């Protein structure tokens, strides 16, 4: 593919360099639902919140030490539950934070710790809130190979997060354990999520059995572990896309919903099986991947400072339609002294 102006987007004037103020590597960046707030976490044990002003500038709104060790990931809850942030770290804990809307104290005290989830036996690597129509649920993956699902039964009392399920997805002795996870957001599907590590595993909650069950297990990558996984939003399609980043490869799976084994008395669609229809492997430097809100465009990024956008062609194959790279010269020009 030639890198002409239609395929390669060099972002110059619109690039905005935000000094992170972190003293170590930034491990995760997460936008809230409306895209006007950004949370960052780092190996320096701190979490910082940035707000977008009316003038288009990002300003530091809050910062606090969230964990005793490196903060590995964070995630916003849907705003209908309030201003809630979940963080996790190498100290084996996942924590629930809530912002106090009326306070005159310092930035560090605006966010209050509501709960600490301490069941993990090793460092917590990833976490993600479930889609809002399933309630206030949180999936937590850790280096012990287990995916734990917590639920706030009473959203007015965020100190209580009982453990709803513990899914031993990967061997505890594996190098990285569970590295990533992603929820399916289909409204007409039972609660379903995919977890990544040495391979990918899809879990679904069965209402009849009242338990989480392994639905699909995919083969292990040829090299290394799965670094990131993203379930595409479903906007009425008869199939699902799941993308995984595997360092030097980007893999896209297409699953169709098979209802042939449904029981007539099953009103919750729990027997709708997912069957792998096809998969595509793309040679790309991919550490992270994420779908757009309609599940039609996939963004991937690696260690080259570039974001690649992938879209399906008429034959169903994903091709790179754009490359986005900021003006990296500004990074040097605006670099803060050590």
Residue-wise pLDDT tens for the chain (338 aa)? 334 433 444 444 466 788 888 999 999 999 999 999 999 999 999 999 999 999 888 999 999 999 999 999 999 999 999 999 999 999 999 999 999 875 555 555 589 999 999 999 999 999 999 999 999 999 999 999 999 999 998 999 999 999 999 999 887 656 789 999 999 998 888 999 999 999 999 999 999 999 999 999 998 887 788 999 999 998 888 899 999 999 789 999 999 987 654 444 444 444 467 899 999 999 998 999 999 999 999 999 998 888 999 999 999 999 999 998 866 665 545 454 44
| Domain assignment of residue 113, given as a range | 25-122+151-172
Residues 43 and 112 in one domain: yes
At 13 the pLDDT is 47
Residues 158 and 216 in one domain: no
Residues 167 and 183 in one domain: no
Residues 166 and 205 in one domain: no
Whole-number CA gyration radius for the chain: 20
At 192 the pLDDT is 96
At 5 the pLDDT is 38
Contact criterion met (CB below 8 Å) for 94 and 87? yes
Residue 20 lies in a domain: no
- Number of separate domains in the chain: 2
What is the pTM assigned to this prediction? 0.87
CA pair distance 89, 45, nearest whole angstrom: 8
Encode pLDDT of 193-242 as tens digits: 999 999 999 999 999 999 999 999 998 887 788 999 999 998 888 899 99
At 176 the pLDDT is 82
Residues 203 and 331 in one domain: yes
State the CATH number of the domain containing residue 44.
Answer: 2.130.10.10
Residue 246 lies in a domain: yes
At 108 the pLDDT is 53
Residues 29 and 65 in one domain: yes
Residue 292 lies in a domain: yes
Q: Which residues contact 133 (CB under 8 A, 6 or more apart)?
A: 187
> Quick one: how far is CA 203 from the chain centroid?
16
134: left (phi over 0), alpha (psi -120 to 50) or beta: alpha
Residue 12 lies in a domain: no
Residue in 315, 190, 200 with CA at minimum distance from that of residue 246: 200
CA pair distance 130, 336, nearest whole angstrom: 38
Contact criterion met (CB below 8 Å) for 177 and 125? yes
Residues 216 and 335 in one domain: yes
Contact criterion met (CB below 8 Å) for 72 and 24? no
Residues 162 and 190 in one domain: no
Residues 162 and 197 in one domain: no
Residue 315 lies in a domain: yes
Residues 113 and 159 in one domain: yes
Domain end point (choices 172, 207, 242): 172
Residues 97 and 237 in one domain: no
Residues 202 and 269 in one domain: yes
Both tokens assigned to 170: 């990967």
């Amino acid at each position: 593919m030639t890198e002409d102006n239609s395929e390669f987007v060099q972002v110059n004037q619109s690039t905005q360099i935000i000094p992170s103020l972190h003293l170590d590597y930034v491990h995760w960046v997460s936008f809230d639902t409306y895209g006007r707030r950004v949370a960052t976490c780092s190996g320096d044990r701190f979490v910082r919140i940035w707000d977008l002003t009316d003038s288009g500038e990002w300003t530091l709104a809050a910062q606090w030490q969230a964990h005793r060790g490196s903060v590995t990931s964070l995630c916003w809850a849907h705003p209908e539950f309030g201003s809630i942030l979940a963080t996790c770290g190498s100290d084996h804990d996942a924590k629930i934070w809530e912002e106090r809307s009326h306070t005159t104290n310092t930035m560090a005290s605006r966010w209050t710790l509501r709960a600490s989830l301490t069941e993990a036996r090793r460092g917590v690597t990833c976490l993600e809130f479930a889609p809002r129509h399933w309630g206030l649920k949180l999936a937590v993956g850790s280096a012990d190979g287990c995916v734990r699902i917590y639920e706030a039964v009473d959203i007015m009392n965020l100190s209580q997060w009982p453990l709803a399920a513990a899914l031993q997805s990967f061997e505890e002795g594996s190098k990285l354990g569970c590295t990533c996870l992603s929820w399916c957001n289909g409204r007409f599907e039972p609660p379903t999520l995919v977890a990544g590590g040495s391979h990918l595993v899809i879990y679904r909650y069965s209402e009849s059995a009242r338990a989480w069950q392994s639905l699909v297990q995919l083969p292990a990558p040829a090299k290394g572990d799965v670094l990131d996984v993203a379930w595409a939003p479903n906007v009425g399609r008869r199939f699902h896309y799941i993308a995984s980043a595997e360092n030097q490869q980007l893999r896209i799976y297409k699953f169709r919903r098979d209802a042939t084994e449904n029981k007539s008395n099953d009103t919750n669609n729990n027997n709708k099986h997912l069957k792998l229809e096809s998969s595509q492997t793309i040679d790309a430097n991919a550490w992270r991947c994420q779908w757009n809100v309609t599940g039609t465009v996939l963004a991937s990024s690696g260690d080259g400072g570039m974001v690649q956008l992938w879209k399906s062609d008429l034959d169903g194959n994903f091709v790179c339609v754009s490359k986005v790279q900021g003006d990296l010269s500004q990074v040097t020009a605006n670099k803060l002294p050590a």
